[in-house]
Structure 1
Amino acid sequence: MLQKYEVLKEIHNHYLVAVIRGKNTEEAIEIAKQAYEGGIHSLEITFSTPGAEAVISELSRSSYSDMIIGAGTVLDAETARIAIMSGAKYIVSPHFDQQIAFMCNRYAVPYMPGCGSVTDVMSALSVGVDVVKLFPGSLLGPSFIKDVKGPIPHAEFMPSGGVNINNLEQWKKNGAFAVGIGSALTKGVTNGDYCSVQKVAREFIEKLNSLMEEYR
């Protein structure tokens, strides 16, 4: 199987993607490690974090061999290439950008662009996007996936923004390929203590496991 689809398969199987934003590289690395220790293996390091490429590089070279490190908040093709060269296995943006898609295709790296309309979704699919980032998820809601999959059943979505432990079941039931979890992970962080990130990650994992049991 091509590298691109191996990565997508892993993201889908693990299902939860931690969206990591930090005030600096040290904070981002600590949040990422805590999320991983809590059971979330797919980590999206956003370029709203200063020195994001250094975070990606360090985590990619760490002993955590089963981490799936990606880059988020990628606004242009140049940043996408920097992320890929730093070790990012997938690229996520808040919008759809054809040039980012071309750059990712060049390196066989999955690109998940933010889309908020059917027109955006079709534009993304037309240039080889396999999974669309549904953004903002809090505004569009789980029903958007179900509605779009009616006429476009092959479209795959990863919602980001507004995903929490209480609506995880609804996103899964409506066919989300994976889900991005951001502020819900770090809401309990205080005074440089990141232990709460691991605790929340474990709660999400437990919730996901219980949902998987229901579907069996």
Structure 2
Amino acid sequence: MVTKFKSLDAITGTGALLIVRLDSAEEALAVSEAAIEGGMRALEITLSVPGALDVISKLSTRYGKDGVVVGAGTVLDDHAAHACISAGAGLLVSPNLNPAMIATANRYQAVTVSGAFTPSEIVDTMQAGADIVKLFPAEFVGPEYVRTVTAPLPQAPLMPAGGVTPDNVKTWFDAGVVAVGVGSSVTKAARPDGDYRRVTAAAEAILRAIGEARG
């Protein structure tokens, strides 16, 4: 069993959470496996993926013993939270604050990454017990917003989600984030020709860039 501490380390240790939001269970599974081969240790399968719970179950069974934390995304309430945890999710992600979702996750020692945007939302999210605050949508504000928010709130464990690439990841870590949410730059890398080795290479590239950004 992957403990909450190990699950958190899978995110903060690598500095990345892969957001898998794709059109089919087959593609989500293939992309996830290719990204894990490339070094990803924390993945979020969004509930918009058809058969998402089955994908989570398969991945957590195959890779949970290897220190990979497989989670669910767009978890909006406590009912969805319990279903995801029952399927094997050790991580729950939401675009907004739902205290009941966080409470359910904490009851079963699942990591929570809960969405917020304004300073008030960020404080409310931390107060509700979230482990990481997902800055969402991040692409509309950028790293300077993180610097501005963390000046009065240096304790806020922020993770931007949206628009993160190897080219800009250093600016986010320089601003003070604990990790970044990585999406289409990795998950859709195989779309041109169906070669999932592109996903593996893209995962390696973003993790290498994160390592360099952290010094």
Common fold: TM-score over 0.5: yes
- Alignment correspondent of 2:198: 196
Q: Distance in 1 between matches of 2:102 and 2:18?
A: 22
Instruction: Say if 1:210 and 1:141 are closer, same or farther in 2 by CA, change over 3 A.
Output: same
Cα distance change, pair 125–53 in 1 and its aligned pair in 2 (3 A): same
Q: RMSD in angstroms over aligned alpha carbons?
A: 1.7
Checking the alignment, whether the CA contact within 8 Å between 1:116 and 1:140 is kept in structure 2 is: no
Q: Sequence identity of aligned pairs in percent? A: 35
Q: Pairwise mapping of residues 125-136 of structure 1 onto structure 2 (< 5 A)?
A: 125-136=126-137
27-36 vs 96-105, which deviates more? Answer: 96-105
Cα contact 2:7–2:111 (8 A) shared by 1: yes
Checking the alignment, whether the CA contact within 8 Å between 1:90 and 1:109 is kept in structure 2 is yes
Give the 3 Å change call, closer, same or farther, for CA 184–63 of structure 1 in structure 2: closer
Structure 1 gaps, min length 5: none
- Aligned residue pairs total 212
- Distance in structure 2 (CA, Å) of the matches to 1:115 and 1:165: 24
C-alpha contact 1:21 1:49 (8 A) present in aligned 2: yes
Paired position in structure 1 for 2:18: 18
Q: Contact 1:20–1:32 at 8 Å: present in 2 too?
A: yes
**Which residue of structure 2 aligns with residue 117 of structure 1?**
118
Deviation of the 1:63 alpha carbon: 4.8
Paired with 2:154 and 2:204, the residues of 1 have a C-alpha distance of: 32
CA contact (8 A) 2:161 2:182 kept: yes
* 1:25-71 C-alpha deviation (Å, 9 max, x unpaired): 11111000111111111111111101111011000111562211111
**Once the 2 structures are TM-superposed, how far is the Cα of residue 3 of structure 1 from its aligned partner?**
3.4
Tell me if 1:211 matches 2:193: no
Contact 2:14/2:207 (<8 A) preserved: no
Letter in 2 for 1:175: G
Map of 2:46 onto structure 1:
46
**Which 4+ runs in 1 deviate beyond 2 A?**
2-6, 190-195, 208-212
**TM-aligned CA distance change 1:59 to 1:174, over 3 Å:** same
TM-score by length of 2: 0.92
